[in-house]
A and B are shown apart, each in its own frame.
Chain A
């Protein structure tokens, strides 16, 4: 049942930030030991400088820096490279979309960020995750636990099974507030009732005493959102939050996530297989395939100038309203590859109509394309390549 990784030994020395349930400290403000030697906080001047430094730091640094993250699953059939060398950044308050098919590694990436990868058989084998200046992979289990719920909220895919059937939803929402914010029972319940109302449950106060099975799927997902946001986290991980819901409810839930995150300034990582959803919600998008990021960039750039055949396939496969009736849905031929011991080749090449020999011999790197922060992993679309 362990949810922390055991392969990365904890070393307290690298991070001087001690994690407590202290909410009075604003996110990102430095500890004394982080300040340069000639600044003390005893003087007014010192305090001002320290605040300035904190602010600079806060803007200089990003909320999330992921470098070369690899999470593997050690199975009887071999080692599955579910996430293989993934790197990306996330700013405070930004909404990032991770788009890909089943098995692309998008969910495992999110689980890795909070170290909830089931171990065994999974393990984060390498890489770095810096969250708000804190090196996630070097934390002890207990320190990680303190982060979860409080600074990072999680919305899971299936609202029907993600709530505990034997506890009232009021309790389940108030729980993290009680644990992390040290609120009294009454204060936590009050907060939970407010949250419940905020996520759009009518007669929220009365429904606090109800059980999950008394709610519909869409409403349960709203409850999940309330739970995730209970402690006002800095980051919200939403793993396919609408996949299990009716299409009509999907839009409502997405809108709810969007409005709440912008109201609270929460950064969001939205994981989905649906490019349409990503387009509506995200500032930037990472397209993942077979455990790798194959394209990343601002939403507009990805949609207007996709640089990778897989992304074309995804865009192409979206059904459009202006198509003629009876036209067949366009799919990407073939199946995603087996992730055991991948070879040094472009992982999409077996399914790519533009593949050439170089694609099968050498995996392309993420290279810069037109547009800010726009990268793609494809030999053919590079400047001078054979696809234009």
Chain B
């Protein structure tokens, strides 16, 4: 097990390498540069700026410079915000983005799993229909539409929550973004849990438990749920990846001061430093999350743990 974890961790490095190379290439393949803004700068100025930031060097050199920088923890300057380093930008925003992601994840699990369990236990009866209906809404509503809907109903209509979450220190500003972000994962987790529970219901060991004369409640909680949740763990990895990469839309709509909102603007503004930093961060987060999920899966399934 430990060897497995170490190998996986080591494997992340070549993956990051490939990811960074591809990103770097695509980034520079895009026409235009960081200086092509609203006002057209004179060519000489552009040239001087490029020299200053080393953008006229050959690609491999630029890449190696960047690698050198990142290894020493220096992510480079930001082109859009000349007075700030990429390091600063990341440091400011990453805590908030992670915070939002974790809240959305917890919400998705806490709501999604019970929803799926209840739907499976009362299959084809009212609780199932309600739970399935709720799941369907989650599936059918893209996060940005859900966000707009929530704003219209709860922020503008009912005035329960503020429309913008720029000030992150007030908890009521966390609610709407979290719900908007968690909508789709709730539905996915609920559907998957329901399917898994239904599978478990058909298993022979459930019949054995019944033949022992156990209470239905015990059979469900002790015998069924833990078996049903094992496959559900496998989809938690992709869900976390979704939350990480998808949060930028929610951040943009609600004005959340995380790093996600720099996403689009960085790409359109060709802020290379920010683009590279964000790509690497996201890739690391995804890889680590997948590793955690895989280890968790191996741990909770006794057939894998003791083999």
Question: A-side interface residues toward B, CB under 8 Å?
Answer: 1, 3, 114, 116, 145-150, 153-154, 156, 158, 161-167, 175-176, 179-180, 210-211, 213-214, 224, 227-228
Q: Are B214 and A165 in contact (CB under 8 A)?
A: no
In this assembly, does B7 line the interface, its C-beta being within 8 Å of a C-beta of chain A?
no
Q: How far is the CA of A75 from the CA of B305 in the complex (A)?
A: 42
Q: How far is the CA of A90 from the CA of B307 in the complex (A)?
A: 45
In this assembly, does B45 line the interface, its C-beta being within 8 Å of a C-beta of chain A?
no
Q: How far is the CA of A22 from the CA of B230 in the complex (A)?
A: 38
Quick one: closest B residue to A168, CB to CB?
A: B302
Quick one: closest B residue to A173, CB to CB?
A: B212
In this assembly, does B201 line the interface, its C-beta being within 8 Å of a C-beta of chain A?
yes
In this assembly, does B207 line the interface, its C-beta being within 8 Å of a C-beta of chain A?
yes
A149/B223 contact (C-beta < 8 A), A1-B121, A164-B205, A166-B301 known = no
Q: How far is the CA of A119 from the CA of B137 in the complex (A)?
A: 32
Q: Are B226 and A3 in contact (CB under 8 A)?
A: no
Residues on B with beta carbons closer than 8 Å to the beta carbon of A147: 213
Residues on B with beta carbons closer than 8 Å to the beta carbon of A228: 211
Q: How far is the CA of A148 from the CA of B207 in the complex (A)?
A: 12
Count chain B residues whose beta carbon lies closer than 8 angstroms to a beta carbon of A.
Answer: 28
Residues on B with beta carbons closer than 8 Å to the beta carbon of A114: 211
Q: How far is the CA of A179 from the CA of B306 in the complex (A)?
A: 28
Residues on B with beta carbons closer than 8 Å to the beta carbon of A3: 210
Min CB gap A238→B, angstroms: 12
Q: Are B214 and A166 in contact (CB under 8 A)?
A: no
Q: How far is the CA of A224 from the CA of B230 in the complex (A)?
A: 24
Q: How far is the CA of A159 from the CA of B208 in the complex (A)?
A: 10
In this assembly, does B204 line the interface, its C-beta being within 8 Å of a C-beta of chain A?
yes
Q: Are A164 and B207 in contact (CB under 8 A)?
A: no
Q: Are B213 and A146 in contact (CB under 8 A)?
A: yes
Q: How far is the CA of A163 from the CA of B302 in the complex (A)?
A: 13
Q: Are A161 and B203 in contact (CB under 8 A)?
A: yes
CB within 8 A of B207: which of A156, A165, A175, A176? A156
Q: Are A179 and B213 in contact (CB under 8 A)?
A: yes
Of residues 165 through 212 on chain B, the ones whose CB sits less than 8 Å from some CB of chain A are: 201, 203-212
Quick one: closest A residue to B300, CB to CB?
A: A166
Q: How far is the CA of A146 from the CA of B300 in the complex (A)?
A: 32
Q: Are A179 and B121 in contact (CB under 8 A)?
A: no
A175/B212 contact (C-beta < 8 A), A156-B204, A164-B205 known = yes
Residues on A with beta carbons closer than 8 Å to the beta carbon of B210: 3, 116, 148
Residues on A with beta carbons closer than 8 Å to the beta carbon of B303: 165, 211, 213
Quick one: closest A residue to B219, CB to CB?
A: A1
A165/B213 contact (C-beta < 8 A), A1-B201, A211-B302 known = no
Q: Are B222 and A145 in contact (CB under 8 A)?
A: no
Q: How far is the CA of A1 from the CA of B300 in the complex (A)?
A: 26
Q: A145-B214, A175-B212 are in contact. List 17 more A-B contacts (CB 8 A).
A: A1-B121, A1-B206, A1-B216, A114-B211, A145-B213, A149-B213, A153-B211, A154-B208, A154-B211, A161-B203, A163-B205, A164-B205, A166-B301, A166-B302, A179-B213, A210-B306, A227-B212
Q: Are B213 and A180 in contact (CB under 8 A)?
A: yes
Residues on B with beta carbons closer than 8 Å to the beta carbon of A165: 205, 227, 301-303
Q: How far is the CA of A233 from the CA of B223 in the complex (A)?
A: 23
In this assembly, does B215 line the interface, its C-beta being within 8 Å of a C-beta of chain A?
yes
